[in-house]
Amino acid sequence: MTCTHWDGDTVNGYWLCAKCFAKLQDRPRRYHMSGVEGGDVPPRQEVTLAPVAKADGTTLAQFVHAMALRLIARTGGSFDKADALEYAIEILRTFSEPFGSDDLDWTSAGAWELVDEDLQHWDADESASN
Ligand SMILES: [Zn+2]
């Protein structure tokens, strides 16, 4: 699967797509020419960087970090920061809701809720195996 989405945010050292949560090595950029041929200023190439995704006043990176911190707190530190970030992204992928969709709460309270909901499944798995 190749991600051709545009907005996202830098998480854990890579660019995370806000739509499909693909991890890209570099922040997407577009090149375009400014100025007109034969105008006063010679045309030159300009670069536009992909915009940072924001929803409910939270950037994607802030949201994923809020989830990661919640994970660390709820599991008594059994995740390190990088693992918690990766796991937070896995949770987001299971919802397959693009960042900023109307169906989820994208505040830090919403981030905690997603994590708490996921951890409930852990408890259920544990009691099922007992
Ligand atoms: Zn994408």
- Which residue type, as a one-letter code, is found at position 2? T
Q: Tell how far the Cα of 33 is from the centroid of ligand 1, in angstroms.
A: 25
Q: Tell how far the Cα of 66 is from the centroid of ligand 1, in angstroms.
A: 21
pTM reported for the whole predicted model? 0.87
Residue 114 lies in a domain: yes
Q: Tell how far the Cα of 83 is from the centroid of ligand 1, in angstroms.
A: 21
Q: Tell how far the Cα of 52 is from the centroid of ligand 1, in angstroms.
A: 13
Residue 79 lies in a domain: yes
The number of folded domains in the chain is 1
Residue 90 lies in a domain: yes
Residue 34 lies in a domain: yes
Domain region containing 65: 8-129
Residue 60 lies in a domain: yes
Q: What value, to the nearest 5°, has the Cα angle with vertex 3 and ends 80 and 88?
A: 20
Residue 13 lies in a domain: yes
Residue 1 lies in a domain: no
Q: Tell how far the Cα of 16 is from the centroid of ligand 1, in angstroms.
A: 8
Residue 2 lies in a domain: no
77: left (phi over 0), alpha (psi -120 to 50) or beta: left
Q: Tell how far the Cα of 56 is from the centroid of ligand 1, in angstroms.
A: 20
- pLDDT truncated to tens, each residue of the chain (130 aa)? 589 999 999 999 999 999 999 999 999 999 998 877 777 778 888 999 999 999 999 999 999 999 999 999 999 989 999 999 999 999 999 988 999 999 999 999 999 999 999 999 877 766 665 5
- Ligand 1 is a single-atom ion; what residues have CB below 5 A from it? 3, 5, 17, 19-20, 22
